[in-house]
Amino acid sequence: RLRGGREDGHPFGPDATTHVYAVASGKGGVGKSTVTANLAVALAQQGKRVGVLDADVWGWSVPQLFGVRHPPVALKGLMLPLQAHGVSLMSVGFLVQGDEPVVWRGPMLHKAIEQFLGDVHWGDLDVLLIDLPPGTGDVTLTLLELIPDAQLLAVTTPQPAAQTVAARVGRMARDARMPIAGVIENMSTLVCSSCDAETPLFGEGGGARLAAGIGTTLLGQVPLDLPLRTAGDLGLPAMVATPDAPSVVELRRIAASL
Ligand code: ADP
């Protein structure tokens, strides 16, 4: 059923038994990659076989978030994903040298995404999380085409601007008949590390409004907290480094609900 999957003769592409979630946002900086990385680790900690495909071809952050950066090994014409914290990883960032810009356009992007699905030895995965670039560009379209059974996970902050652009992604998925798994509101409140007071720094209700607007459910609200940011910068997912941080507890709960 999946193009690039096993049925089409690609031995190791994600097949029909793999739950594929395409993690999308309307704009950058809302925490899409941070959410993806930590959901992946949480799912792996539940005993699932998990892969993360970093399809954010211009602004990849999976190498940084997982603290791995070296070229993948090739085996019999297939690339082996890198392993970190129980998760199989593939990212454009593993393939480019240093700060080289990636200047791929439509057809090359299409080919690259196709190869990431079909020419990577993902093995048998229970879950594949795809970290999409923000917005409704070529990569998102390609994935909709290659994996029509993928489900959309939309990440937004409570801010109206983030929510409005995320709604466009939701409508694009709906038009392509891609099922929508739900909305994750990130940076919902700022939790004070000394007094536990919560401040709605970016406003309130954006996640719920987005979910209602695209006809899906709000899966959870992840607070802003320091451990999630510092862990990302250190290259150790907060799900491992600070399992009790409020943001991590909520992300673990969301992962269990998927
Ligand atoms: P995106 O993938 O949407 O561009 P990132 O995941 O790169 O966003 O997150 C942007 C920045 O915000 C990163 O520095 C990240 O550590 C930080 N961040 C994301 N979510 C949170 C949160 N809930 N609390 C604190 N910092 C966060």
Ligand 1 centre distance from Cα of residue 6 (Å): 34
Does the pTM of the predicted model rise above 0.90? Answer: yes
pLDDT of residue 126: 92
In tens, the pLDDT along 54-64 reads 998 888 899 99
Assign a CATH topology to domain 6-257. Rossmann fold (3.40.50)
CB-CB contact of 31 with 155 (8 Å): yes
Cβ(228) – ligand 1 distance below 6 Å = yes
Cβ(227) – ligand 1 distance below 6 Å = no
Cβ(28) – ligand 1 distance below 6 Å = yes
Cβ(55) – ligand 1 distance below 6 Å = no
User: CB-based contacts of 98: which residues, under 8 Å, 6+ apart?
Assistant: none
- Which of 229, 239, 250, 251 maximizes ligand 1 atoms within 8 Å of its Cβ, making it the mutation to test the pocket? 229
Q: Exposed (0-12), middle (13-18) or buried (19+): which is 227, by Cβ within 10 Å? A: middle
CB-CB contact of 133 with 93 (8 Å): no
Instruction: Find out whether 28 is annotated in a ligand binding site.
Output: yes
Q: What is the mean pLDDT of residues 158-164?
A: 85
**Domain ranges within the chain, ordered by starting residue:** 6-257
Atom of ligand 1 nearest to the CA of 28: 4
Q: What is the mean pLDDT of residues 72-98?
A: 88
- The confidence band for 4, taking pLDDT boundaries of 50, 70 and 90, is very low
Q: Exposed (0-12), middle (13-18) or buried (19+): which is 174, by Cβ within 10 Å? A: middle
